Structure 1
Amino acid sequence: MKNRLILAFLSIIIIPILAIIVSFLVGAKNIDSQDGDQLHALFNDVEMTIRNYEDSLSDQQLFYTKIVSLLDQYDIHLTIHGQNHELLFDSKEFRPRDESNKLPLDIDTFTIDVQTSQDELWKVEIEANSFRAEPFSAFRDVLQIIFVSLGMGLFTLIVLMVGWVWYITRTVLDPIRSIYQATEEMREGNLDYAIPYKRNDEIGRFIQGFNLMREHLKESYAKQKQYEDSRNVLIASISHDLRTPLSSIKGYVEGLLDGVAKDDEMRERYLKVIHDKSNHLDNLIDDLFEYSKMELEQLPIHKEVVDVNDYFMGMLEKLKFDLNYKEAELEYVLKAPPVQMKLDPKRMRQVIYNLVDNSIQYGSDKIFIQVEQVNKHLIVKVKDNGQGIDDEDLPYIFDSFFRGEKSRSKKHRSGSGLGLSIVHYILKAHHGDIHAESQKGTGSIFTLTLPLNANDFSS
């Protein structure tokens, strides 16, 4: 902006001056170069004529008749002053001057000295009667060139001023109006109103920043709406998911209080169901608590260096023992070399347990886990023989509150829909990833990829 204003200021001053100079030089070049010689010839003719007829000057009428041809030739007036400044002759007494043809600034009047035969020095004033005859027409041409040059300069100045006003209006005022319009649109809630401006100047960078701010604000509003939608879904899910096991617990407790369970075997079955539903409630509350911390990006990740084989061996052996109580079988294979890596043992155990629980929840009774190193990555595959995932559901299984089993059948206990999204979050926090493959009726394979490079596992 500053450079443009300086350029505008300098151009408005310099270019009109250059236009005046160029116009004057072009016009002056067209003036006859012999004008100086013609003026010198005029002086010589006047001097010669006065000398020739100086004896007749005592009779001014006679002298006038002698020099009238000279006066007509050059269309001039002559005034002669003697040595003592006395007026000897004035041709205007015989032919008055046409004042309408008088040139400005008296540039058409010259004075020369004439030496008479009596060695007297007369002052002769030569005055043009008009600017039509040579050499005085040159002065007219000079004046015309001056006026044309000034006119060209003035015209150039006007054109530059109009051009700069148009340019500044287009590049400064119009964008400012667009910015004002955009602020009004944003105030009305329209965050899709982009300001079109392609120049990479101060205004352009300001508008780019304004559009970037608008995009960030739009993303912020979208994220806020997403949080609000998630909150609504969370409230609805809490209401439904907590009500179902609570209702069961309440029903069985009322049965115990009413004496429906009349023997020890029935009371034990009631208590087992109450315990099972209580564990389900506990898992739901844990998932919701983990999800709330995940949404706030406050889910703690505490990494430490572990030996891959020792860590997974201990975790999978304990998991295999726990699955015996759930009537499920776990097999695993460790192909990873004895390497160390940095991870959060608690969160990685949560990942494996969530995947295994998810498999059991959807009908699997045999689970196979394989741990191996491929290049600079640790690959963990969790394979089950459950009911599988529909093709249309597969892209969304890591979304929060998504449930592939929509029927909520008694056979497959419904979860919170948060387990896989928490798994995905934990792996991303470890700079890893998870991928799912599944065919309906044949089971699923979840593949976890974790980098072994210690630089990728900064705490």
Structure 2
Amino acid sequence: MRYKIQVRHVTGILVGAASGKFVYDEMDLLARYLKMKGIYSDTDGLRFFGGLLALAVFGVVCFLFSKYGKNGLGNYLLLSVVVSLAVVIALVFLSGFAIQVPAVQKAVREMTEQQGLLISGILYIIFVVLIFIFVFSFRFLVKSKVNYIQYITSEVRQIEKNGFGRQIKVKYQDELAELSLGINNMSLALKEKQDREKEQEEQKNRLIADISHDLRTPLTSIIGYTELMKEDGFSDKEKCGQYLEVIDRRLGNMKTMVDQLFEYTRLTQSDYHLNLQPVKLNKLLDYINFEYGSILKNMDFKWVMEVEFQDTVILADEERFMRAMGNLLDNAKKYSRPQTEIRLDGRKRKDFVQIELSNELEDPDKIDTTCIFERFYKGNQARLSEEGTGLGLPIVKKIIELHGGTIGVKTLDRRIVFTVEMPLYKKESAR
């Protein structure tokens, strides 16, 4: 595994070395003092102990800096201070070496004796220069960080001006990098939220337009027949009965549409939850076989149900699941060719059950399987048709998805096949 040296490691080494050197020098001074006073003569042993203590301090400091890596910016600033001080100290040591040259010492001594005030001024100037060197070194070292902070500020202003979704270039591996990543994640999340809200707003507008379109037809028909009843009066009971029959049928269509719209809206709400309970799937399918099988047979359809599992348990909201299967069967009944086979097959897989419902279509070319689960889709029928609301299959899809299942559709020859897959109930997963 490749080990990457970071700022905190360099800082730890420099601070550790300086600390160790300080400890060793202090122990050396202590040994000299004790020897001078005659208290302790074994100075070599004390210096050896000082060396061990210095190594220990060096190791501890390096370990602490390498362990607490989250404070990368603080470590970098500390490193800048250490390096700046090192530059100043190095200049001081170089000056000290220069002063030890005999010619320089003689010149300094003569100048001090003759021009003491001037020397004092020079010393102050040197002190100021050292401070300037320290500040310049520190400023040079932190310049990249300051520039990056200014870059982040500029990018945040661009995000504020142009909208979310803009990304900041991530540099380094410290708190500034974490800040940049946080801003990027926030920008993307808010962009997705804005897009989602925009899409929901567009869907709401389309839904309102579709509802208005589909409700206008029966309302127009009801108003028209009501006007005819007003004109003709109730003298012609036969016509009046026909008008009332049409009005009643139109009102029934409107009620069905409003009921399905209410159900679909409720299912798509984020706070809607199913009442999931362990249910035997065979029990539900037997009920479907009894109720719908009888209806379909009376309508001259050939009803076939073949199930390859027994005592299979799924986690389901019984009422909602039966509603979904009922919508699928109503769809099959409505769009099947007369006197053809409507078939339901059930199979058990490893972790799920598969239910297939198929029927023969009069005109398969009218069905676009890629759009069949969209709201208000009615094949290639005119929207004025009153044969359906276009919400039955979207309701089925939403119910199945709320159960954690999936539904798909395909056409095979002249048949349309709906495939529902539901996860098996597992006691350990429900705990």
TM-score (norm 1): 0.63
Larger radius of gyration: 1
1:160 and 1:325, CA in 2 relative to 1: closer, same or farther beyond 3 A?
farther
Cα shift readout 1:58-104 (whole Å, capped 9, x = no counterpart): xxxxxxxxxxxxxxxxxxxxxxxxxxxxxxxxxxxxxxxxxxxx823
Is 2:351–2:424's contact at 8 Å kept on the other side of the alignment?
yes
**Pairwise CA RMSD of aligned residues?**
3.8
Instruction: Give the conservation status (yes or no) of the 8 Å contact 1:255–1:261.
Output: no
Q: Quick one: which of 165, 178, 184 aligns to 1:192? A: 165
Q: In structure 2, the residue corresponding to 1:396 is in which secondary structure?
A: coil
Aligned to 1:322: 295
Shift of residue 170 of structure 1?
Answer: 2.4
Which of residues 105, 108, 120 is equivalent to 1:104?
Answer: 108
- 1:364–1:4 Cα change, 3 Å: farther
Distance 1:297 1:175 in 2: 36
| Separation (CA, whole Å) in 2 of partners of 1:345 and 1:456 | 21
User: In structure 1, what is the equivalent of residue 25 of structure 2?
Assistant: none
Residue 12 (str. 1) matches residue 91 (str. 2): no
**Where in structure 1 do 4 or more consecutive aligned residues deviate above 6 Å?**
149-156, 266-269
Aligned residue for 1:14, secondary structure, equals: helix
Is 1:433 matched up with 2:406?
A: yes
Structure 2 match to 1:171: 148
For 2:246 and 2:304, the matched residues in 1 are separated by 29
Task: Tell me how far apart the structure 2 counterparts of residues 104 and 155 of structure 1 sit (CA, whole Å).
Answer: 24
After superposition, give the CA deviation of every residue in 1:195-224 in whole Å (9 maximum; x if it has no partner).
222433212212222222222222222122
- TM-score, reference length from structure 2: 0.67
Residues 348-378 of structure 1: CA distance to partner in whole angstroms, max 9, x if unpaired?
Answer: 1111122222334445444211122122211
Aligned-residue offset at 1:458? 4.9
The answer to whether residue 196 in structure 2 is matched with residue 233 in structure 1 is no
Q: Say yes or no: does 1:452 pair with 2:424.
A: yes
* Structure whose residues are more often strand by fraction: 1
CA distance in 2, matches of 1:105, 1:437: 104
The reply on whether 1:374 has 2:349 as its aligned counterpart is yes
Query: Judging changes above 3 Å, is the alpha-carbon distance between structure 1 residues 327 and 308 closer, same or farther for their aligned structure 2 residues?
Result: same
Letter matched to residue 351 of structure 2: K
Cα distance in 1 for partners of 2:220, 2:246 equals 12
One-letter amino acid of the structure 1 residue matched with residue 109 of structure 2: L
Q: Secondary structure at the match of 2:370?
A: helix
CA distance in 2, matches of 1:308, 1:354: 17
Corresponding residue of 1:58: none
Q: Does 1:443 align with 2:431?
A: no
Matched letter for residue 444 of structure 1: I
Counterpart of 1:181? 158
Give yes or no for the alignment of 1:212 onto 2:216.
no
Q: Distance in 2 between matches of 1:202 and 1:402?
A: 53
Cα offset, 1:380, TM superposition: 0.5
Structure 2: unaligned runs, 5 residues or longer? 1-72, 114-122
Higher helix fraction: Structure 1 or Structure 2? 2
Deviation at 1:284, TM superposition (A): 0.9
2:283 matches 1:307: no
Q: SS of the counterpart of 2:210? A: helix
Structure 1 letter corresponding to 2:188: E
| Equivalent residue in structure 2 for 1:358, among 305, 313, 331 | 331
Quote the residue 1:65 is aligned against.
none
Equivalent of 1:388, from 344, 347, 364?
364
Distance in 2 separating the partners of 1:299 and 1:388: 35
Instruction: Specify the alignment match of 2:5 in structure 1.
Output: none
SS at match of 2:354: strand
Separation in 2, partners of 1:335, 1:451: 16
Deviations 1:398-417 (A, max 9, x none): 2334443253475xx45333
Deviations 1:389-437 (A, max 9, x none): 668x433332334443253475xx4533332222222111111111111
Structure 1 residue 446, shift from structure 2 partner: 0.8
1:260 shift after superposition:
9.2
**1:180 to 1:239, Cα distance in 2 relative to 1, 3 A:** closer
CA separation of 1:458 and 1:327: change in aligned 2, threshold 3 A: farther
Q: Do the aligned partners of 1:389 and 1:438 also contact (CA within 8 Å) in 2? A: no
